[in-house]
Chains A and B, each alone.
Chain A
Amino acid sequence: MTATLFLDAVNPWIDWTWLSDHTSLLLDRLQEHAVLTVIAVAVGTVISLPLGVAAQRWNALRNPVLTISGILYTIPSLALFAFLVPYTGVYSVTTAEIPLVSYTVLIIVRNVVVGLDAVPPDVKDAADGMGYRPLARLLRVEIPLALPAIFAGLRIASVTTIGLVTITFVIGLGGLGQLIYTYGMLENNFRTAILAGIALTVALAFAADGILLVAQRLALPWSRTA
């Protein structure tokens, strides 16, 4: 009991003084975390939209695309980082982003395919009847109708990526994982830094989810799906 009290005194769960003295450290790690996430989701989206459209159009592509991305998704991130390090090195954004982008691609591609699958055939017929050419029909009828599903994919991809970026500390990159590892575990398990790393990761995930939800409501006022 006395030992626990002593430990709480030298290693408090929340050391407000340390936190207020290190706000720039916390904000820097938060910013690195956000940047790694934004790159992964942005690149993943740019790859996934055409890939998803193609996979949904052509049956020959559908199974290979979903199977290959499914296999990549199953492989643990730590293993993918470790596979790449001998080739792309540590402290490398490339080493971090190849796995992260792969994971976001699977999530978003699946939602693009599901969203496009769900466009009612009647609507497509009506669009054809109104004289839409295939590309115009895709861009102006099918994709807008699939956007709620695509947005749902973006939200899952963002929240997932924010969780996974905490692991990029293994290749020496910044981000909130550094608070948990370098400033926490390596500093005699300094609890405040570890707790701050966890709390900021969760907060960032909820913030990203909320921002995308608001963006969805603004971009698609007709969709009211949560």
Chain B
Amino acid sequence: MDFLRTVVDWFAAPSRWQGPDGIPTRLIEHVEISAESVAVAAVIALPVGIALGHVGRFGDLAINISNVGRALPSFGILVLAFLLLGFGDTPIVLALALLAIPPMVTNSYVGLRSVDPDVKDAARGMGYRGLAQLFRVEIPLAVPLIMAGVRTSAVQVVATATLAAYIAGGGFGRYIVDGFATFDYTKLFAGAVLVAALALATELSLSGLERLLVPRGIRSLRAPGTRRGASFKTA
């Protein structure tokens, strides 16, 4: 109990809420680097996954990319990016984006593939062709799984961004890495609280966004348990 008291005091100290090592600065760093990484990954991964799912080919590639992604050690990839590109945000964003691509490709592929063929037939019968069918019928129906992929990736990026503190990155990982380095268990524990809270907040806010993006017409159709993609955890 005494220990948890020191953690509460750590949070209560006014100096914790200002300056370059303050919680607001670290939060902005963490969110910024994560958002950039997810955006870079989404720009690459979603078109690829959606295109593969639409044409229905290279399915093995789309599925296996997640298996390969799981096998990559996130910490090793961060260090490798640092060796190749040096200090700064660029290597961190590229490494995190690389780790975020596989779940987005796999989930959007599966989402597009699981659109009912009868629905596609009906769309064609109603005069939808090519891109109109893709954008106005298939993608809206696949939104739950596409967003499941984005959410999975985003939560993993937030988690893995913590490790970026080992290659001189900012964010909440700083408290954990510095806490370990100086045996300052109060700082370590407080950093863990912040990182865990941010990861859960990411999961919840993206679930909320997903709910907004799912077309009203299919909300009730969604069977429970189908909106989650395959497990994916890199950090």
Which A residues fall within an 8 A CB radius of B?
71, 73-80, 82-83, 85-86, 103, 106-107, 110, 114, 156, 159-160, 162-164, 166-167, 169-170, 176-177, 180-181, 184-185, 189, 191, 194-195, 197-198, 201-202, 205-206, 209
Inter-subunit contact A194/B79 (CB<8 Å): yes
Bound-complex Cα distance A57 to B132 (A): 44
Q: How many A-B residue pairs have CB under 8 A?
A: 137
Whether B231 contacts A156 by the Cβ 8 Å rule is yes
B51-90 contacts to A (CB < 8 Å): 67, 70-77, 79-80, 82-83
Which chain B residues lie closer than 8 Å to A209 at the CB level? 67, 71
Residues on the A chain within 8 Å of B71, using CB: 159, 162-163, 201-202, 205-206, 209
A184 contact set on B, CB distance < 8 A: 79
1/0 contact string of B35-60 vs chain A (CB within 8 Å):
00000000000000000000000000
Using Cβ atoms and an 8 Å threshold, which residues of chain B touch A205?
A: 70-71
Q: Which residue of A lies closest to B230 (CB)?
A: A156
* Chain B residues, CB < 8 A from A114: 225
Could you list 24 examples of A-B contacts with CB < 8 Å?
A74-B155, A74-B200, A78-B159, A78-B195, A79-B159, A79-B162, A79-B196, A82-B188, A82-B195, A86-B189, A103-B233, A159-B70, A162-B71, A163-B234, A164-B235, A166-B76, A167-B74, A167-B75, A181-B166, A194-B76, A195-B80, A198-B76, A198-B80, A209-B67
Chain A residues with CB under 8 Å of B189's CB are 82-83, 85-86
B140 interface hit (Cβ, 8 Å): no
Q: Please determine whether B233 and A160 come into contact, CB atoms closer than 8 angstroms.
A: yes
Contacts of B76 in A (CB 8 A): 166, 180, 194, 197-198, 201
Least Cβ–Cβ distance between A174 and chain B, in angstroms:
15
Query: Which of A86, A194, A198 lies at the interface centre, i.e. has the most chain B CB atoms within 10 A of its CB?
Result: A86
Which B residues, 192 to 228, have Cβ-Cβ distances below 8 Å to chain A? 192-193, 195-196, 199-200, 203, 225
Q: Quick one: which of B73, B180, B200 contacts A170, CB cutoff 8 A?
A: B180
> In the complex, what distance in Å separates the CA atom of A80 from the CA atom of B199?
12
Q: How far is the CB of B46 from chain A (nearest CB, A)?
A: 22
> B230 → chain A, closest Cβ, in Å?
7
* B145 contacts chain A at the CB level, 8 A cutoff: no
Q: Does B192 contact A82, Cβ atoms closer than 8 Å? A: yes
Task: Knowing A85-B185, A184-B79 are in contact, say whether A76-B180 is a contact too (CB < 8 A).
Answer: no
